[in-house]
Amino acid sequence: NKQSTLFLCQMVVVEDIGASIQSSTSADWIAEKAIDGNRGLQQLRTGCSSTLNETNPWWRLDLHDVYRVSEVVVTNRKDCCAEQINGAEIHIGNSLENNGINNPICAVIPDIPAGESNNYSCDGLDGRYMIIHIPGDWKILTLCEVEVYGYLAENLAVAGAAIQSSTFEDWFAEKAIDRGLQQLYTECSSTLNETYPWWRLDLRHIYRVSKVVITNRKDCCAELINGAEIRIGNSLENNGTNNPICAVIPDIPAGESYSYSCDGMEGRYMNLIIPGDMKILTLCEVKVYGEGIHQ
């Protein structure tokens, strides 16, 4: 059974690792029908997903991890209304802001002939989410198959060693790099309530860090992360908190993952710190992406 696929070292099935959702659903044209492996039977309209007629309809695939996406293949409906896909945008990224529509654009679909499949190159855009969106009013988004191809981006954090300024009960520093489920608060790290709490990851080698992805807790207290600083560098002075700042986190909605660009900052250590008194630093997942420096 040929399914929508992602190529890593071997073929894997998106249906097994991805989850789809859309802005609305027309009758039984559910989001999952766009990744059911039914590309060859798109002439059967019941094998497609479709939104209602609405403003800015969207369809989103959660890949459950960050991939470097090389190509997206979209199959249009064959029975009628092929022009409805015209102007659809393909977005790739790690943000769920505005339902993921604010992520970078891979391609804009000018049109796809009825019943045909068109390929769109994404040139290795990184992202956990792939979104197809049609801007404008009175639009219907119908998809008869969506296929995503790429490679799993290497998360440098899983090979590192984590430590934090203090530990609340069994909320150990390591839980922030265990690929745990952020909705389960027991799978997160947390400091005590203290002055300038910090969490540090030793990558064991010097990397040019392109991006850091932070997942916030879902159960409560999402605002605890507000104001946290991400620092990258090679110094352990002041527990590493003197290293240069990559980004400041204004906020992350409960249970969501936000991506912060570090533009190739070099360092062995990645720190998160919240300046101020009576602060708690809780992290449900930290992922770090970059490339090694050959010395």
Residue with token string 């993921």: 100
Q: What does the alpha-carbon distance between residue 253 and residue 186 come to, in Å, rounded to a whole number?
A: 18
Question: Tokens for 202?
Answer: 């030793």
CATH code, domain carrying 94: 2.60.120.260
In this structure, the answer to whether residues 120 and 139 fall within a common structural domain is yes
Please identify, among 152, 170, 202, the residue that sits at the C-terminal boundary of a domain: 152
Task: Judge whether 77 lies within some domain.
Answer: yes
- Residue 159, H or E segment: none
Q: What does the alpha-carbon distance between residue 263 and residue 246 come to, in Å, rounded to a whole number?
A: 8
In this structure, the answer to whether residues 86 and 164 fall within a common structural domain is no
Task: Judge whether 280 lies within some domain.
Answer: yes
Q: Are 196 and 161 in contact (CB under 8 A)?
A: no
Task: Judge whether 176 lies within some domain.
Answer: yes
Q: What is the pLDDT along the chain (295 residues), one digit of tens a residue?
A: 333 334 333 334 344 467 899 999 999 999 999 998 766 454 455 689 999 999 999 999 999 888 888 899 999 998 889 999 999 999 999 888 899 999 999 999 999 999 999 999 998 888 889 999 999 999 999 999 999 988 777 889 988 999 999 999 999 999 999 865 444 455 899 999 999 999 999 999 999 999 999 999 988 899 999 999 999 999 999 999 999 999 999 999 998 889 999 999 999 999 999 999 999 999 999 999 988 875 4
Report helix, strand and coil shares of the chain as percent, to nearest 5: 15, 45, 40
Please identify, among 123, 152, 181, the residue that sits at the C-terminal boundary of a domain: 152
Question: Tokens for 113?
Answer: 């002939």
Q: Which residues contact 191 (CB under 8 A, 6 or more apart)?
A: 164, 165, 166, 167, 168, 197, 198, 199, 280, 281, 282
Task: Judge whether 3 lies within some domain.
Answer: no
H helices present in 87-228, as ranges:
none
> Phi then psi for 132, rounded to 5 degrees?
-115, 130
Going through 37-194 in order, the beta strands assigned E by DSSP cover 49-50, 58-75, 88-93, 105-109, 117-133, 142-143, 145-152, 161-164, 189-190
Task: Judge whether 2 lies within some domain.
Answer: no
Which range marks the domain in which residue 66 is found?
12-152
In this structure, the answer to whether residues 132 and 160 fall within a common structural domain is no
Please tell me the total count of domains within the chain. 2
Res 250: pLDDT: 97
In this structure, the answer to whether residues 264 and 240 fall within a common structural domain is yes
Q: Are 248 and 228 in contact (CB under 8 A)?
A: yes
Task: Judge whether 247 lies within some domain.
Answer: yes
Residue with token string 């009013």: 137
In this structure, the answer to whether residues 86 and 48 fall within a common structural domain is yes
Q: Are 197 and 279 in contact (CB under 8 A)?
A: yes
Please identify, among 152, 168, 188, the residue that sits at the C-terminal boundary of a domain: 152
In this structure, the answer to whether residues 218 and 86 fall within a common structural domain is no
Question: Tokens for 18?
Answer: 């991805």
In this structure, the answer to whether residues 91 and 131 fall within a common structural domain is yes
In this structure, the answer to whether residues 136 and 35 fall within a common structural domain is yes
In this structure, the answer to whether residues 266 and 161 fall within a common structural domain is yes
In this structure, the answer to whether residues 23 and 136 fall within a common structural domain is yes
In this structure, the answer to whether residues 142 and 178 fall within a common structural domain is no
Instruction: Give the angle 65-156-226 at the CA atoms, nearest 5°.
Output: 75
In this structure, the answer to whether residues 167 and 37 fall within a common structural domain is no
Question: Tokens for 108?
Answer: 């804009």
Task: Judge whether 5 lies within some domain.
Answer: no
